[in-house]
Amino acid sequence: MRKQIAAANWKMNLTYQQAQALIGDILAQDISLESDQQVLLAVPFPYLSMANEAVAGAGNFAIAAQNCYSKHAGAFTGETSVDMLYSLRVFYCLVGHSERREIFKETNKELAEKIDLLLVQEMRPVFCCGESLDIRDAHMQNDFVETQLNESLFHLSPAQVLKVIVAYEPVWAIGTGKTASTEQAQEMHAHIRSLLAKKYGSDTAEQISILYGGSVKAGNAKELFAEPDVDGGLVGGASLSAQDFVQIIKGLKS
Protein backbone atom coordinates (compact mmCIF):
# COMPACT_ATOMS: atom_id res chain seq x y z
CA MET A 1 0.00 0.00 0.00
CA ARG A 2 1.31 3.46 -0.84
CA LYS A 3 2.14 5.86 1.98
CA GLN A 4 -0.72 7.64 3.69
CA ILE A 5 0.58 11.06 4.70
CA ALA A 6 -0.60 13.89 6.91
CA ALA A 7 1.53 16.89 5.94
CA ALA A 8 1.35 20.14 7.93
CA ASN A 9 2.19 23.38 6.17
CA TRP A 10 2.64 26.05 8.84
CA LYS A 11 3.34 28.74 6.22
CA MET A 12 4.61 32.01 7.80
CA ASN A 13 3.13 31.45 11.24
CA LEU A 14 4.23 30.98 14.86
CA THR A 15 7.15 32.28 16.86
CA TYR A 16 10.03 29.96 17.74
CA GLN A 17 8.55 29.32 21.19
CA GLN A 18 5.08 28.69 19.78
CA ALA A 19 6.53 26.26 17.23
CA GLN A 20 8.36 24.35 19.95
CA ALA A 21 5.18 24.14 22.00
CA LEU A 22 3.05 22.97 19.04
CA ILE A 23 5.44 20.16 18.14
CA GLY A 24 5.56 19.14 21.79
CA ASP A 25 1.78 19.11 22.02
CA ILE A 26 1.47 16.98 18.88
CA LEU A 27 4.05 14.46 20.02
CA ALA A 28 2.44 14.24 23.47
CA GLN A 29 -0.80 12.93 21.97
CA ASP A 30 -1.69 9.27 21.65
CA ILE A 31 -0.62 8.77 18.03
CA SER A 32 0.15 5.28 16.80
CA LEU A 33 1.28 5.31 13.18
CA GLU A 34 1.25 2.21 10.99
CA SER A 35 4.26 1.39 8.81
CA ASP A 36 2.49 2.87 5.77
CA GLN A 37 1.52 6.11 7.55
CA GLN A 38 3.67 9.22 7.86
CA VAL A 39 3.50 12.73 9.29
CA LEU A 40 5.40 15.61 7.69
CA LEU A 41 5.81 19.00 9.34
CA ALA A 42 6.68 21.75 6.84
CA VAL A 43 7.93 24.44 9.20
CA PRO A 44 9.41 27.90 8.52
CA PHE A 45 13.12 27.93 7.67
CA PRO A 46 14.35 29.28 11.05
CA TYR A 47 12.77 26.31 12.84
CA LEU A 48 14.08 23.43 10.72
CA SER A 49 16.90 22.33 13.05
CA MET A 50 14.78 22.65 16.18
CA ALA A 51 11.95 20.69 14.59
CA ASN A 52 14.26 17.95 13.36
CA GLU A 53 15.68 17.49 16.84
CA ALA A 54 12.19 17.50 18.34
CA VAL A 55 10.88 14.64 16.17
CA ALA A 56 14.05 12.55 16.30
CA GLY A 57 13.03 9.12 17.53
CA ALA A 58 9.33 9.73 16.88
CA GLY A 59 8.42 6.96 14.48
CA ASN A 60 7.34 8.03 10.98
CA PHE A 61 7.60 11.77 11.70
CA ALA A 62 9.75 13.91 9.39
CA ILE A 63 10.43 17.59 8.75
CA ALA A 64 9.97 19.32 5.40
CA ALA A 65 11.06 22.69 4.08
CA GLN A 66 8.40 24.93 2.58
CA ASN A 67 10.51 25.92 -0.43
CA CYS A 68 13.97 25.86 -1.96
CA TYR A 69 15.71 27.84 -4.68
CA SER A 70 16.05 26.65 -8.27
CA LYS A 71 19.83 27.12 -8.47
CA HIS A 72 22.58 25.11 -6.84
CA ALA A 73 24.40 28.08 -5.24
CA GLY A 74 25.45 31.66 -5.94
CA ALA A 75 24.62 35.32 -5.44
CA PHE A 76 20.95 34.87 -4.55
CA THR A 77 20.56 36.83 -1.34
CA GLY A 78 17.82 35.55 0.93
CA GLU A 79 17.33 32.22 -0.86
CA THR A 80 17.91 28.71 0.51
CA SER A 81 19.56 26.00 -1.55
CA VAL A 82 18.85 22.29 -1.64
CA ASP A 83 22.38 21.62 -0.36
CA MET A 84 21.69 23.81 2.68
CA LEU A 85 18.54 21.85 3.48
CA TYR A 86 20.30 18.53 3.03
CA SER A 87 23.10 19.62 5.34
CA LEU A 88 20.44 20.16 8.03
CA ARG A 89 19.16 16.61 7.40
CA VAL A 90 15.91 17.90 5.95
CA PHE A 91 14.91 15.38 3.30
CA TYR A 92 11.49 16.66 2.16
CA CYS A 93 10.56 19.94 0.49
CA LEU A 94 7.34 21.51 -0.80
CA VAL A 95 7.58 22.59 -4.44
CA GLY A 96 5.11 24.80 -6.28
CA HIS A 97 2.65 25.58 -3.51
CA SER A 98 -0.20 27.69 -4.89
CA GLU A 99 0.98 30.69 -2.86
CA ARG A 100 4.46 30.40 -4.37
CA ARG A 101 2.94 30.24 -7.83
CA GLU A 102 0.51 33.12 -7.30
CA ILE A 103 2.47 35.54 -5.09
CA PHE A 104 6.02 34.81 -6.21
CA LYS A 105 5.17 33.95 -9.84
CA GLU A 106 7.01 30.66 -9.87
CA THR A 107 6.79 28.95 -13.27
CA ASN A 108 6.45 25.29 -14.16
CA LYS A 109 9.96 25.41 -15.64
CA GLU A 110 11.41 26.80 -12.42
CA LEU A 111 9.63 24.11 -10.43
CA ALA A 112 11.11 21.42 -12.68
CA GLU A 113 14.57 22.81 -11.89
CA LYS A 114 13.86 22.65 -8.16
CA ILE A 115 12.65 19.05 -8.42
CA ASP A 116 15.79 18.06 -10.31
CA LEU A 117 18.04 19.58 -7.65
CA LEU A 118 16.11 17.86 -4.85
CA LEU A 119 16.31 14.48 -6.53
CA VAL A 120 20.06 14.82 -7.10
CA GLN A 121 20.37 15.08 -3.32
CA GLU A 122 17.96 12.17 -2.92
CA MET A 123 15.45 14.45 -1.22
CA ARG A 124 11.72 14.00 -1.76
CA PRO A 125 9.71 16.79 -3.40
CA VAL A 126 6.10 17.35 -2.41
CA PHE A 127 4.89 18.72 -5.74
CA CYS A 128 1.81 20.94 -5.50
CA CYS A 129 -0.58 21.39 -8.41
CA GLY A 130 -4.11 22.66 -8.85
CA GLU A 131 -6.39 25.16 -10.53
CA SER A 132 -7.87 28.55 -9.68
CA LEU A 133 -11.56 29.43 -9.66
CA ASP A 134 -11.61 30.83 -13.21
CA ILE A 135 -10.05 27.62 -14.54
CA ARG A 136 -12.57 25.49 -12.65
CA ASP A 137 -15.49 27.64 -13.82
CA ALA A 138 -14.30 27.19 -17.42
CA HIS A 139 -14.18 23.39 -16.87
CA MET A 140 -10.51 23.40 -17.87
CA GLN A 141 -9.15 21.96 -14.62
CA ASN A 142 -8.09 18.61 -16.05
CA ASP A 143 -6.11 20.16 -18.89
CA PHE A 144 -4.60 22.77 -16.58
CA VAL A 145 -3.31 20.22 -14.07
CA GLU A 146 -2.06 18.01 -16.91
CA THR A 147 0.04 20.93 -18.17
CA GLN A 148 1.48 21.45 -14.70
CA LEU A 149 2.50 17.79 -14.55
CA ASN A 150 3.84 17.75 -18.10
CA GLU A 151 6.02 20.81 -17.60
CA SER A 152 7.31 20.11 -14.09
CA LEU A 153 7.29 16.33 -13.53
CA PHE A 154 7.06 14.33 -16.69
CA HIS A 155 10.70 14.79 -17.71
CA LEU A 156 11.59 12.46 -14.82
CA SER A 157 12.43 8.78 -15.17
CA PRO A 158 10.12 6.18 -13.60
CA ALA A 159 12.62 5.66 -10.77
CA GLN A 160 12.76 9.40 -10.10
CA VAL A 161 9.02 10.02 -10.16
CA LEU A 162 8.53 7.35 -7.50
CA LYS A 163 10.33 9.67 -5.08
CA VAL A 164 7.80 12.47 -5.66
CA ILE A 165 4.74 13.07 -3.50
CA VAL A 166 1.96 14.92 -5.33
CA ALA A 167 -0.37 17.34 -3.54
CA TYR A 168 -3.50 18.55 -5.31
CA GLU A 169 -4.67 22.01 -4.22
CA PRO A 170 -8.06 23.17 -5.51
CA VAL A 171 -7.16 26.84 -5.19
CA TRP A 172 -10.78 27.74 -5.96
CA ALA A 173 -11.90 26.09 -2.72
CA ILE A 174 -9.39 27.83 -0.43
CA GLY A 175 -10.64 31.08 1.10
CA THR A 176 -13.31 31.61 -1.56
CA GLY A 177 -16.38 30.46 0.32
CA LYS A 178 -16.72 27.53 -2.09
CA THR A 179 -16.25 23.99 -0.84
CA ALA A 180 -14.86 21.04 -2.74
CA SER A 181 -16.80 17.83 -2.18
CA THR A 182 -15.16 14.50 -1.49
CA GLU A 183 -16.36 13.43 -4.93
CA GLN A 184 -14.60 16.38 -6.58
CA ALA A 185 -11.41 15.59 -4.66
CA GLN A 186 -11.51 11.95 -5.71
CA GLU A 187 -12.27 12.88 -9.31
CA MET A 188 -9.14 15.01 -9.64
CA HIS A 189 -6.95 12.58 -7.72
CA ALA A 190 -8.07 9.79 -10.05
CA HIS A 191 -7.32 12.05 -13.03
CA ILE A 192 -3.81 12.76 -11.75
CA ARG A 193 -3.19 9.07 -11.17
CA SER A 194 -4.44 8.28 -14.68
CA LEU A 195 -1.96 10.80 -16.11
CA LEU A 196 0.84 9.20 -14.10
CA ALA A 197 -0.26 5.79 -15.36
CA LYS A 198 -0.36 6.96 -18.96
CA LYS A 199 3.18 8.32 -18.68
CA TYR A 200 4.83 5.74 -16.40
CA GLY A 201 2.51 2.73 -16.27
CA SER A 202 -0.14 1.73 -13.75
CA ASP A 203 2.29 -0.09 -11.43
CA THR A 204 4.29 3.10 -10.92
CA ALA A 205 1.20 5.29 -10.64
CA GLU A 206 -0.26 3.07 -7.93
CA GLN A 207 2.83 3.61 -5.76
CA ILE A 208 2.72 7.43 -5.77
CA SER A 209 0.99 9.19 -2.88
CA ILE A 210 -1.41 11.98 -3.89
CA LEU A 211 -2.41 14.32 -1.07
CA TYR A 212 -5.42 16.63 -0.93
CA GLY A 213 -4.78 20.27 -0.05
CA GLY A 214 -8.19 21.91 -0.10
CA SER A 215 -8.93 23.13 3.42
CA VAL A 216 -8.55 19.78 5.17
CA LYS A 217 -10.02 19.98 8.68
CA ALA A 218 -10.51 17.68 11.64
CA GLY A 219 -14.17 17.32 10.70
CA ASN A 220 -13.71 16.27 7.06
CA ALA A 221 -10.34 14.49 7.02
CA LYS A 222 -11.53 10.93 7.58
CA GLU A 223 -14.18 11.20 4.87
CA LEU A 224 -11.73 12.72 2.38
CA PHE A 225 -9.00 10.19 3.14
CA ALA A 226 -11.44 7.31 2.67
CA GLU A 227 -11.58 8.05 -1.06
CA PRO A 228 -9.53 5.45 -2.98
CA ASP A 229 -7.10 7.88 -4.62
CA VAL A 230 -6.75 10.34 -1.72
CA ASP A 231 -3.65 9.36 0.25
CA GLY A 232 -3.79 11.97 2.99
CA GLY A 233 -3.67 15.73 3.11
CA LEU A 234 -1.52 18.82 2.89
CA VAL A 235 -2.97 20.77 5.78
CA GLY A 236 -2.74 24.53 6.29
CA GLY A 237 -4.61 26.36 9.05
CA ALA A 238 -5.80 23.24 10.87
CA SER A 239 -2.20 22.11 11.34
CA LEU A 240 -1.61 25.06 13.70
CA SER A 241 -3.84 23.39 16.28
CA ALA A 242 -2.39 20.28 17.89
CA GLN A 243 -5.85 18.93 18.69
CA ASP A 244 -7.12 19.41 15.13
CA PHE A 245 -3.99 18.10 13.44
CA VAL A 246 -3.88 14.99 15.60
CA GLN A 247 -7.48 14.25 14.59
CA ILE A 248 -6.44 14.66 10.95
CA ILE A 249 -3.54 12.24 11.47
CA LYS A 250 -5.93 9.73 13.00
CA GLY A 251 -8.11 10.02 9.89
CA LEU A 252 -5.44 8.44 7.67
CA LYS A 253 -6.26 5.13 6.05
CA SER A 254 -4.53 2.10 7.54
Query: SS3 breakdown of the chain: % helix, strand, coil, rounded to 5?
Result: 45, 15, 40
Query: How far, in Å, CA of 198 to CA of 98, rounded?
Result: 25
Catalytic (active site) residue 97: yes
Question: Which one is catalytic: 99, 131, 169, 189?
Answer: 169
141-152 and 108-120 helices cross at what angle (nearest 10)?
50
**Is 124 strand, coil or helix?**
strand
Catalytic (active site) residue 169: yes
- Closest by CA to 117, choosing from 64, 70, 157, 48, is 70
177-196 residues labelled b (16+ CB within 10 A) or e (exposed): eeebeeebbbebbebbbebb
Give the bridge partners for 9, in sequence order. 42
- Closest by CA to 219, choosing from 188, 243, 185, is 243
Q: How many residues are recorded in the chain?
A: 254
130: left (phi over 0), alpha (psi -120 to 50) or beta: left
Query: How far, in Å, CA of 73 to CA of 61, rounded?
Result: 29
Q: What positions carry a catalytic annotation?
A: 97, 169
